[in-house]
Structure 1
Amino acid sequence: MLGTREPEIYGTTTLDDIAGMLEDRALELGFEIDMRQSNHEGHLVDWVQEANASGARAVIINPGAYTHTSIALHDAIKGVSIPVIEVHLSNPHARETFRHVSYVGQAAKGSIMGFGAQSYMLALDAAARI
């Protein structure tokens, strides 16, 4: 849906476009990325825990609407030792009030939001430095 859903909020960059940008930047930084997408909360929880168990350097996560609802993601992030960086294309604080609470952000190392697709690039650069 990324690239077509509410382009006035999320832009027209697709997930494949973002993946390509991140792959290129990761090569410049000298490491690999494992990019995944799911609409299922349990998959996201499993992947955070898997990343920690496999020795990943960090997790960059855009939890979408789970940002505001998922205690499970909050707890999974609190339960791992690697840094987790929350990313959003838009700035949730500039949108509806129900988007102002981030359970993920409360557990994450940091949050980058509001810079469109560049939010992911900024998160990758941050992950390379922590």
Structure 2
Amino acid sequence: MSTSASRRVLVLNGPNLNLLGQREPAVYGTTTLADISAMLAAAGPLGLRTELRQTNHEGQMIDWLHEARNDTHAVILNPGGWTHTSVALHDAVKAIGTPVIEVHISNPHARESFRHTSFVSPVARGVIVGFGADGYLLALHAASRF
């Protein structure tokens, strides 16, 4: 696995994802963020170094996206509930120039109507939804091809 900063992939997770594996397992499954981090680390042959982070604070997420502007190959972003509410997150993704892949564990299009609109999707390089925790691996494989 490369340790080069230019091949670093930030895996950023938004609000309530710290409860992954416990919160609504029928919707989000029983996989935890620690499990996802281990799964991504095991994908080392892709030549990417992942760094997983989670926050319940929107300003922190925006700061991390700004940080990614300078030394990050790609960002895998699960914005959680901010997907449907945050113009600020949209603007941050648009401003950084680093490819961002939006990931959702569930399929928001198959859920409540307020979840059908994403402020992030229009400025993301791609969107992966509905594949559970495997969506993070799919995003990592996509990022390896940039």
Aligned-partner Cα distance in 1 for 2:106–2:47: 28
Taking structure 1 as the reference length, the TM-score comes to: 0.96
Aligned-partner Cα distance in 2 for 1:69–1:77: 14
Aligned-partner Cα distance in 2 for 1:61–1:75: 14
Moved over 2 A (4+): none
Aligned-partner Cα distance in 1 for 2:99–2:125: 6
Q: Give the match for residue 37 of structure 2.
A: 19
Segments of 5+ residues of structure 2 without an aligned counterpart are: 1-18
AA aligned opposite 2:127: S
Please give the secondary structure, in 2, of the residue aligned with 1:61.
Answer: strand
Aligned-partner Cα distance in 2 for 1:4–1:31: 29
Amino-acid identity (%): 59
Q: Give the match for residue 114 of structure 1.
A: 130
Give per-residue Cα distances to partners, 1:49-104, cap 9 Å, x unaligned. 10112x21000000000000010110001101110000000000000000000001
Q: Give the match for residue 30 of structure 1.
A: 47
Aligned-partner Cα distance in 1 for 2:135–2:48: 19
More helix by share: 1
Q: Give the match for residue 2 of structure 1.
A: 20
Q: Give the match for residue 47 of structure 1.
A: 64
Aligned-partner Cα distance in 2 for 1:77–1:47: 10
Q: CA shift at 1:31, angstroms?
A: 2.2
Segments of 5+ residues of structure 1 without an aligned counterpart are: none
Aligned-partner Cα distance in 1 for 2:119–2:58: 13
Given that 2:47 and 2:144 are in contact with CA atoms closer than 8 Å, whether structure 1 keeps it comes out as no
Please give the secondary structure, in 2, of the residue aligned with 1:34.
Answer: strand
Aligned-partner Cα distance in 2 for 1:128–1:44: 23
AA aligned opposite 2:99: P
Q: Give the match for residue 98 of structure 1.
A: 114
